[in-house]
Structure 1
Amino acid sequence: MITIDLRGKIAAVVGGTSGIGRAAACRLAEAGARVVTLSRRAVAPDPGCSPEAAERITHRRLNITDSAETAEVFAELAGTEGLDLAVHSAGVLAPGATLDTDDELWRRHMATNADGLFFSARESLRQIRASGRGGKVVIVGSVSGQVGNPGFAAYCATKGLVVNLTRQMALDYAAEGINVNSVLPGFTDTEMTAIYDSATKEEIAATIPAKAWATPEQIANAVLFLCSPLADYVHGANLAVDGGYLAGRPA
């Protein structure tokens, strides 16, 4: 039987105190990694995993839209032991068709989903590279980076960025033993998607081949795979975990 053993690995999970990020932090800790969650929260809520795994999770406050702060925090958490794994799951989601997207809404998405992602991914790459051990970087994107989602212009634009940034970072560092990949969740039940009411969620579920929304844990399973030795030869992949949504919808 194949098991994933991440004992001895040090992981950072950006956006690790809610939704998919929190589930990913638990999965990594359950596999034995020491995990630092990073988010704007001063105090992290209960991660919701087993007590044994929870003991391996600590938290640091970080505003990823601040480049200097992000560099400083990543350097501190890597310390003398280095960094092996990084998951980037922070993001914002707000509706707005193109003509309804004002400057503030556009910039808010860009600040977190584009600038913040780049600043934090760059620093995680810097620290993993400095360790000399190779490592894994996983970005949590969205199926909205591959297809449009009516009424979400800024969000889709930033998630489109994830797809090619993943490929570019993978090309830049694959030869150094650093794997950069992304997970593209479909519609997932998280705090972020609470903007949808129950009737809308049911309508959306009917368009998904699997006929259900994902749980954060289902997405986190894919993150765990991409952080594991099982994915050592996977570089630049954008892995859809979407219940078949991108494969096609009912005519």
Structure 2
Amino acid sequence: MIHIDLRGKRAAVVGGTSGIGRATAVRLAEAGAEVVTLSRRAAAPEVQASPEVCARISHKQLDIVDSSQTAEVFAEIAAGGGLDITVHSAGVLAPGQMHDTDDELWHWHMRTNVDGVFYAVRESLRHMSSAGTGGKIVIIGSVSGQVGNAGFAAYCASKGLLINLTRQLALDYASDGINVNSVLPGFTDTEMTDIYSPDVKSLLADTIPAKKWARAEQIADAALFLSSPLADYIHGVNLPVDGGYVAGRPA
């Protein structure tokens, strides 16, 4: 059995206090990494894990759309023992066809889902490149960046940008030993997707070949893999974890 061992590694999980980010922080800590969760929330995430695992998770408050604050926080993390892994899981989701999308809704998605990724990943790359020891960056995107999601124009546009950003960063930093990849979740049960009613969730499940929504832990498993030495030769991959959703529709 292959065992992922991240002892001696330090990880930052942006958006690590809820949903996929929280599950990823736990997975990384279970593998032995020292994890710092980052989010607007002042309190550390409440996690269901052993005391040993919980002790490996600390927290820093961060407004991810604040460029200067992001630079300061990542500098603190790097100065405290280095930075080997960054997982960016923060994001927002709201409905709206294009004709119903006002400037505020559009820019809200772009600030959080695009600018927030840019700031955190840029700082991570700066510290990893300066250290010269490589690293792993995993961006949590969405299959809605690969295929359309009716009624979510701004969200789909923001997530589509991250797919090509992942490829570009892989080209630019692979020679530095830095792996940049993304995970593209399909429909996943988190606090964010509580905007869907139970009836709509059931209807959407029928469009998934696996006939069910993902759990946050299943997305976190993919993020853990891409953060590990098992992914040392994987660069620029946008990995759907979606129950077969982008493969096609069940007849």
Q: TM-score range by the shorter chain?
A: over 0.9
Aligned residue number for residue 21 of structure 2: 21
Q: Residue 203 in 1 paired to residue 169 in 2?
A: no
Please tell me whether the aligned partners of residues 16 and 45 of structure 2 are also in contact (alpha carbons under 8 angstroms). no
Q: Residue 76 in 1 paired to residue 76 in 2?
A: yes
Please tell me whether the aligned partners of residues 82 and 130 of structure 1 are also in contact (alpha carbons under 8 angstroms). no
- The one-letter code sitting in structure 2 at the alignment partner of 1:162 is L
Equivalences for 1:129-144 in 2 at 5 Å?
129-144=129-144
Relative to the length of structure 1, the TM-score reads 0.98
SS in 2 for 1:113: helix
The alignment of Structure 1 onto Structure 2 pairs a total of residues equal to 251
Cα separation, 1, equivalents of 2:72 and 2:174 = 25
Relative to the length of structure 2, the TM-score reads 0.98
Where in structure 1 do 4 or more consecutive aligned residues deviate above 6 Å? Answer: none
SS in 2 for 1:71: helix
**CA deviations over 1:166-195 (Å, ceiling 9, x no partner):** 001111100010000000000000000000
Equivalences for 1:99-178 in 2 at 5 Å?
99-178=99-178
Cα separation, 1, equivalents of 2:160 and 2:181 = 14
Aligned residue number for residue 239 of structure 1: 239
Please tell me whether the aligned partners of residues 81 and 131 of structure 1 are also in contact (alpha carbons under 8 angstroms). no
Aligned residue number for residue 92 of structure 2: 92
- The one-letter code sitting in structure 2 at the alignment partner of 1:87 is V
In structure 2, list runs of 5 or more residues that go unmatched.
Answer: none
**CA deviations over 1:99-125 (Å, ceiling 9, x no partner):** 010001001001100111111111111
- The one-letter code sitting in structure 1 at the alignment partner of 2:34 is R
Cα separation, 2, equivalents of 1:19 and 1:245 = 20
> 1:220 deviation in Å?
0.3
- The one-letter code sitting in structure 1 at the alignment partner of 2:75 is A
Equivalences for 1:34-45 in 2 at 5 Å?
34-45=34-45
- The one-letter code sitting in structure 2 at the alignment partner of 1:170 is A
